[in-house]
Amino acid sequence: MDPQTHFLFPFTLSVILVKLNLFSWKLALLAGIVGVIVDLDHYVEQIAHAKTNRFSLTATWNNAVRFHRFNQRSFIHDGIGAIIVTLVLLVLAFFSGQITLALGFGYYSHLLLDYARLKHEKEFCWKLGVFYMKESELEFILDALLIVVLLILFLI
């Protein structure tokens, strides 16, 4: 899924906890940011595997969205990575349960959204400057729904 969805989903869940006085705004923001930065491994994989434009963020984006010249997902997107991250979070939980919860929201929601992608779903493709863009109908609906929920939460 795209970065905005990876941000909106854990951020919205966290804002619900903020409204229940169980979480701070800083931690809600942290959860959203973590949800996005999990995909930084795409850039590392670009540097490691690309034949041209190794350090280009544009090439990294376009490979992820359109060209798929190599798998940009590193081990942190898979089972062994999830186990390692879970072990790190368990250790961190002894020091700060709240920070661990924020990191966990970001990381696990990222994996959930990546693996929830349905095959044969309708996708919209367009070009924005040098960037190829692609978003499924389902992701548009999810983003819109999350924004509506956030607006309601900000108003109450």
- Binding residues (CB under 5 A) for Zn ion: these are 39, 114
Nearer to Zn ion, 44 or 152 (CB): 44
Min separation Cβ 3 and Zn ion, Å = 9
Nearer to Zn ion, 83 or 153 (CB): 83
Nearer to Zn ion, 39 or 45 (CB): 39
Nearer to Zn ion, 23 or 107 (CB): 107
The token duo for 25 is: 């705004």
CA distance 4 to 87: 27
Min separation Cβ 35 and Zn ion, Å = 9
Residue 40 makes CB contacts below 8 A (sequence gap 6+) with: none
The token duo for 1 is: 């899924």
Min separation Cβ 96 and Zn ion, Å = 25
Min separation Cβ 1 and Zn ion, Å = 7
CA distance 98 to 93: 8
Min separation Cβ 142 and Zn ion, Å = 15
Consecutive H or E run containing 124: strand 123-128
Residue 151 makes CB contacts below 8 A (sequence gap 6+) with: none
Nearer to Zn ion, 40 or 130 (CB): 40
Strands 123-128 and 131-136: antiparallel
